Amino acid sequence: MADPARDAAPLLAFHDLTLGYDRHPAVHHLTGAIAPGALMAIAGPNGGGKSTLLKAIAGRLAPLGGRIENRAARLAYMPQIADLSRDFPISVLDLALTGLCGRRGMFGGLARAEREAARAAIEAVGLHGFETRSIRTLSGGQLQRLLFARLMLQDADLILLDEPFTAIDARTTEDLVAIIHRWHGEGRTVLAVLHDLPLIRAHFPKTLLLARDPVGWGPTPAILTESRLAAARAMSEAFDRFAPECTRAA
Amino acid sequence: MLGEVVITPFAEYPFMARALVGSLAISLGAAPIGVFLMLRRMSLIGDAMAHAILPGAALGFILGGLSLGAMTLGGLAAGFGVALGSGLVARSTLVKEDMALAAFYLMSLALGVTLVSASRAQIDVLALLFGSILALDDATLVLIVAVASVTLALLALGYRGLVMECLDPGFAAGVSRAGPLFHLGFLALVVLNLVAGFHALGTLLVVGIMMLPAGTARLWSDDVAAMLGIAVLAALIANIAGLLLSFHAGLASGPAIILVAGGLYLASLVFAPLGLLRRYLPRRHLEA
């Protein structure tokens, strides 16, 4: 079921990984590896563990069982619901510049070249002219473009996107997908949680179909088949308070 | 005429000059702290923290008498204890920071009142609550100025981390492990400034010079750096005008300062660029 780790050194590997909350699994016994430079979608029903998996890769959730092997030098993670306080008095340019904090730390000064890079990133996401605007004046789509500019400045080799196009219009989605392709072209590894199956088929070579247990993992056309999607849908997200302890062998 | 009203009181009366130095120093440290408290939606935290400090200062008074050292140490111990305790509870349990702080400061307050009523010492509660800015001695002035200096230096050093923690705590946690340190360090600065300020303005009024200029600044600017400057400016104006008002009209100085700060806030609420007048006086909208 898992895509065999052909690459000698995968960027990311899951070893019998179980993730969850209060002992109830949200991702159950996941094993597999992701090669450097992969462009992979994570699909599946609500409650299937997609966001939980990204959270764990980002190091924000400790596994209930198994482990994650992560060789990425720098990781960037865009959660489904950002912690960002939208009425904070900060300009578009300054928010983009916060993307440099991972590399520059919390103290160092910024070089002129870095400010130029931030302006270039803002231009690349189509927000040219908005540099001095306060972020509270941005629309949802404009804010998402800005968060992509911040991601660009993070210069990460592993980029995790949790439903980046939910509530985003077609034009903006198209522009941001182009940026994902640019990252892919630069050899970065991108994992994106997505619900839009046509979008996945058009742009993501690999897919992991997750419904608590992995339903399929491999080349997108082989995974997003009627039978597999039906199987994923059939796996209910019912919560059993009295579920027995899992006895599956590691 | 103007010189007589504005300059003579400070030039000819040493207690006024001391009050001016002390209150200006408090403004420099407390006003920027207030801006960050406001941006973190912790505007009432200063008030809660002030209540937490009061029993510590009272305990210092009971043990050491009316001594700067004993009361300062008592206030710092109570303040740091409550700040650290609630910070740790908020980060390691589902109890949120406001609840954690409420629990600790209420316990601290009750403990303090118990101690005060059990002791036979006569405590000038009014001075503790509302300060005595016209009676600042050298040691107190040195303490206030030292705290303001340390505050400004640390705010400058930790500025980016503080902004990041307020702006996007999840993102800040992802790029730096120092997030909790910035948070706890900031709370320590809040306590430090409240303790330094209570000698002059009292534990209750010192919160006023922290928060009112911050609220004023929010109405004048949409940029955090500019807000810090505006808040300091508003606090300086409130201190000078408040002291003069109290001198000429024979009013209590601490409350006069806070009333002027409140007046600046109310005026800004109406007239500032982000205030009510601009909102309700329609100007034609732009084309794009």
Please say whether the beta carbons of A71 and A20 come within 8 A: no
The answer to whether the Cβ–Cβ distance between A88 and B160 falls below 8 Å is no
pLDDT of residue A1: 43
pLDDT by residue (tens digit) across B153-200?
999 999 999 999 889 888 888 888 777 788 888 999 999 999 998 888
Chain B residues within 8 A of A77 when measuring between CB atoms = 174
In whole numbers, what is the pLDDT of chain A averaged over residues?
90
Q: Where are the beta strands (DSSP E) in chain A?
A: 12-21, 24-34, 39-43, 65-70, 75-78, 158-162, 189-193, 206-211, 213-219
Domain boundary assignment for chain A: 1-73+159-168+191-236, 82-156
Average pLDDT over residues B55-78: 86
pLDDT of residue B178: 78
pLDDT of residue A238: 58
What would the CATH number be for the domain defined by B2-278? 1.10.3470.10
List residues in chain A touching B: CB distance below 8 A: 58, 60, 75-77, 79, 82-85, 88-91, 95, 98, 101-102, 105-107, 134, 136, 154
Nearest CA in chain B to A156: B175
List residues in chain B touching A: CB distance below 8 A: 39, 157-158, 160-161, 163-164, 166-176, 178, 182, 218, 221-224, 227
Please say whether the beta carbons of B71 and B139 come within 8 A: no
Give the residues of chain A that fall short of pLDDT 70: 1-8, 236-239, 249-250
**Token representation of residue A101:** 């904090």
Pairwise CA distance, residues B55 & B61, whole Å: 10
pLDDT of residue A124: 94
Q: Quick one: DSSP state of residue A99?
A: G
Q: ipTM of the assembly?
A: 0.80
Domain boundary assignment for chain B: 2-278
Q: Quick one: DSSP state of residue A134?
A: B
- Helix, strand or coil for residue B44? coil
Task: Name the CA dihedral angle for A106, A108, A111, A113, rounded to a multiple of 10 degrees.
Answer: -40
Task: Write the CB contacts of A199 (distance below 8 Å, at least 6 apart in sequence).
Answer: A165, A173, A177
Average pLDDT over residues B19-45: 92
pLDDT by residue (tens digit) across A57-92?
999 899 999 999 999 999 999 998 778 888 899 999
Name which of A91, A101, A134 is nearest B164 (Cβ-Cβ). A101
CB pairs under 8 A between A and B: 64
pLDDT of residue A239: 60
Please say whether the beta carbons of A58 and A75 come within 8 A: yes
Helix (H) or strand (E) holding A170: helix A170-185
pLDDT by residue (tens digit) across B177-190?
777 788 888 999 99
pLDDT by residue (tens digit) across B220-252?
999 999 999 999 999 999 999 999 999 999 998
pLDDT of residue A249: 66
pLDDT by residue (tens digit) across B94-140?
898 889 999 998 998 888 888 878 877 666 667 677 777 788 889 99
Please say whether the beta carbons of A193 and A39 come within 8 A: no
pLDDT of residue B66: 73
Angle (nearest 5°) at CA B209 between B51 and B28: 120
pLDDT of residue B57: 85
Sign of CA dihedral B15, B19, B20, B22: positive
Pairwise CA distance, residues B11 & B144, whole Å: 21
In whole numbers, what is the pLDDT of chain B averaged over residues?
89
Q: Quick one: DSSP state of residue A236?
A: -
CATH number (3.90.1300.10, 3.30.70.580, 3.30.10.20, 3.40.50.300) of A1-73+159-168+191-236 reads 3.40.50.300
Which of A235, A234, A213, A232 minimizes the C-alpha distance to A223? Answer: A232
CB atoms within 10 A of CB A28: 21
Average pLDDT over residues B51-55: 86
φ, ψ of residue A83 to 5 degrees: the values are -75, -5
In terms of Cβ atoms closer than 10 Å to its own Cβ (0-12, 13-18, 19+), residue A6 is exposed
Please say whether the beta carbons of A38 and A11 come within 8 A: yes
The answer to whether the Cβ–Cβ distance between A83 and B170 falls below 8 Å is yes
pLDDT of residue A5: 45
- Helix, strand or coil for residue A91? strand
Percent of chain B with pLDDT over 70: 97
Distance of alpha carbon A91 from the chain centroid: 25
Chain B residues within 8 A of A79 when measuring between CB atoms = 170
pLDDT of residue A174: 95
